[in-house]
Amino acid sequence: MITFSDRQLKTPKLMRPVYLVTAGQSKFDRAIPEKRTEELCIDALAMAARLIDKTPAELKRYIHSCYYGHFADHFGDQLLGEAVIHDRLGLDPLGNIGIKTGGATGGSTLWEAVKAVASGYSDCVLAMGWERMDEVPTDEGNHLISCAADKDWETPLGHIYTGYYAVMAQKYWQVFGREEESFRRTLAEISVKHHGYARFNPFAQAPMKITVEDVLKSPVVAYPLRALDCCLMSVGAACAIICDEDTAMELTKGTKNKPLRIWVAAGSHTLRPACRRHMEIPLLPHEKADQYADLGERFPGGERYPGFTGFLGARMCTYYGYRMAGIHNPMDDLDVIELHDAFTISDVQSYEDVGLRPYGEGRDYVESGDCYHTNPHTGKPGRLPSNLSGGLIGCMHAVGATGIMQTFEIALHLWNRWAELHGDPDIWKAFNRKKPDDWQDLQVKGAKRGMAISHAGVGSHVTATILMDPDHLLKPDA
């Protein structure tokens, strides 16, 4: 059993409003042999400057401190890569710090950047994340990722992180999935959706026009997870510029970017799923007391929380984040969302953790069509479209950059600039990628609020980054 004090559950409060002003990203791919990591970071920063009609040099003059996220020194074989990148970006001698929280590194980098501005330490900060996963063969990459598990108790068991998710997948479908075949098809539908949306994203690494059958026939990695259930190993960089209100207004004056209010909240839970002790489910604002009292009766085996079926870290970041930003029900209050689809199963698990559906009913978010840009059952806009970037399965998982890429994607919808960047023939050409003849504009029309979930380990760190058009806040004093 775990219990929290009221002080531990206090809703975080920023000392002043914080804004996302602009962002940028590089091409994402399995390997980019022609560019050093610094070149990818410069690509991202140059894009961020371009979106607010500035040169990189002009934008740099506003930056006061820097937050750099990258997951693994092992991958790039470069200890303290932050110092190398900082130097090459020409931001010496400004203060900078490295952030490292596994798969959540991008989200955590934004968390630190937002706190720096909220506290008054800086008026304008750079949050930059990257990963270089092409400098080792795939099996060595899998080993390095598995080193993020406990090296004595878990890593030696196969040296592959997918396995640690697969045991959760097995438990989840047997408790909540009920029927294996139909549940497997729901998972496969997620992969089809995310690879499909990646087709309309020039930055994306794995565009694919595939079917549910293709996913179900792809090679088993760790049963029940197959190759097309899994996220990508990637190279790439993404950045965001975070400012106080005055600086945000100054930087965006006369540009297409309206400064967006940003909040980031974080949660964590034991790195080893094996170490999860039972506890009561922390309730989100739209959930009711005793809502889950009969969970074990409705879903035999589901009484243990968080067990192997939920991510307490994901629940906690939204527990704090929704209350900070005034979100009552994410399905009603948000217009677009990016979830951390490391695996199809973790996507489904997250629907429940962040309250898109109650625990036990996550698959309905996919099956109802609510998660699509256009609901395949009704032909009307999806109620809360998710992962229109293609997510980690279709777009990329350059770990330190991922949470920032997701946030940039949400921001583009709120700026109504999604089609401008994703449809730009020059970007497709620059990345040597062919824009599909049936390219679709996935802009979520009228989007005012969105959220990106960044997630690490088997739920060891999770952040919720919430963006809102400042004219459409849900809570006046947020």
Partner 1 sequence: MSIFGTVVVKRGQYKIKGDFHTITPNMPIRSEDEKWHLVGVTNPRCMTYIHTYGGEAVFFENLSKGRIHGSRCDNPDCEFPGTVYLPFRIHCPDCLQRSTVVDLTEVCKTTATIHTFMVCERSGAFNTLDKPIKFINVEFEGVSTILMSYLSVGDPKIGMRVVPIFQTLEPTYTITDLSWVPEGTPSSKLPKGFTFG
Cα separation, 190 vs 195, in Å, equals: 9
| Residue 403 and residue 130 in contact, taking contact as beta carbons nearer than 8 Å | no
Q: Nearest 5 degrees, angle CA 189-CA 229-CA 449?
A: 65
Residue-wise burial string across 207-238, b where 16 or more C-beta atoms lie within 10 A, e elsewhere: bbeeebebbbebeebbebbbebbbbbbbbbbb
State the minimum distance, in angstroms, from the CB of residue 308 to partner 1: 5
Cα separation, 88 vs 68, in Å, equals: 13
Cα separation, 14 vs 57, in Å, equals: 30
Cα separation, 320 vs 284, in Å, equals: 9
Q: Which residue, 147 or 331, has its beta carbon nearer to partner 1?
A: 147
Q: Which residue, 69 or 177, has its beta carbon nearer to partner 1?
A: 177
Which contacts qualify for 92-98: CB closer than 8 Å, 24 or more apart?
94/63, 94/64, 94/65, 94/66, 95/65, 95/66, 96/65, 96/66, 96/67, 96/68, 97/66, 97/67, 97/68, 98/68, 98/69, 98/70
Cα separation, 233 vs 397, in Å, equals: 6
Q: Which residue, 3 or 8, has its beta carbon nearer to partner 1?
A: 3
Q: Which residue, 297 or 437, has its beta carbon nearer to partner 1?
A: 297
Cα separation, 251 vs 47, in Å, equals: 15
Specify the amino acid at residue 224.
P
Count the Cβ atoms, other than its own, within 10 Å of residue 151: 10
State the minimum distance, in angstroms, from the CB of residue 220 to partner 1: 5
Q: Is 190 helix (H, G, I), strand (E, B) or coil?
A: helix
Q: Which residue, 151 or 429, has its beta carbon nearer to partner 1?
A: 151
- Strand runs (DSSP E) across 345-460, as ranges? 449-455
State the minimum distance, in angstroms, from the CB of residue 159 to partner 1: 3
State the minimum distance, in angstroms, from the CB of residue 87 to partner 1: 20
State the minimum distance, in angstroms, from the CB of residue 300 to partner 1: 11
Cα separation, 66 vs 269, in Å, equals: 27
Cα separation, 293 vs 314, in Å, equals: 20
Q: What is the DSSP letter of 378?
A: T
State the minimum distance, in angstroms, from the CB of residue 2 to partner 1: 8
State the minimum distance, in angstroms, from the CB of residue 198 to partner 1: 23
Over its C-alpha atoms, the chain yields an Rg (Å, rounded) of 21
State the minimum distance, in angstroms, from the CB of residue 345 to partner 1: 11
Provide the token pair at 182: 């139909």
State the minimum distance, in angstroms, from the CB of residue 154 to partner 1: 6
Q: Which residue, 164 or 365, has its beta carbon nearer to partner 1?
A: 164
Q: Which residue, 163 or 457, has its beta carbon nearer to partner 1?
A: 163
| Residue 122 and residue 62 in contact, taking contact as beta carbons nearer than 8 Å | no
Q: Which residue, 97 or 167, has its beta carbon nearer to partner 1?
A: 167
Q: Which residue, 146 or 465, has its beta carbon nearer to partner 1?
A: 146
State CA 9 to chain mean position distance. Answer: 24
Cα separation, 68 vs 113, in Å, equals: 9
Residues that bind partner 1 (CB under 8 A): 1, 3, 33-34, 77, 137, 139-146, 150-154, 156-164, 166-171, 174, 219-225, 272-278, 301, 308
State the minimum distance, in angstroms, from the CB of residue 136 to partner 1: 8
Q: Which residue, 29 or 154, has its beta carbon nearer to partner 1?
A: 154
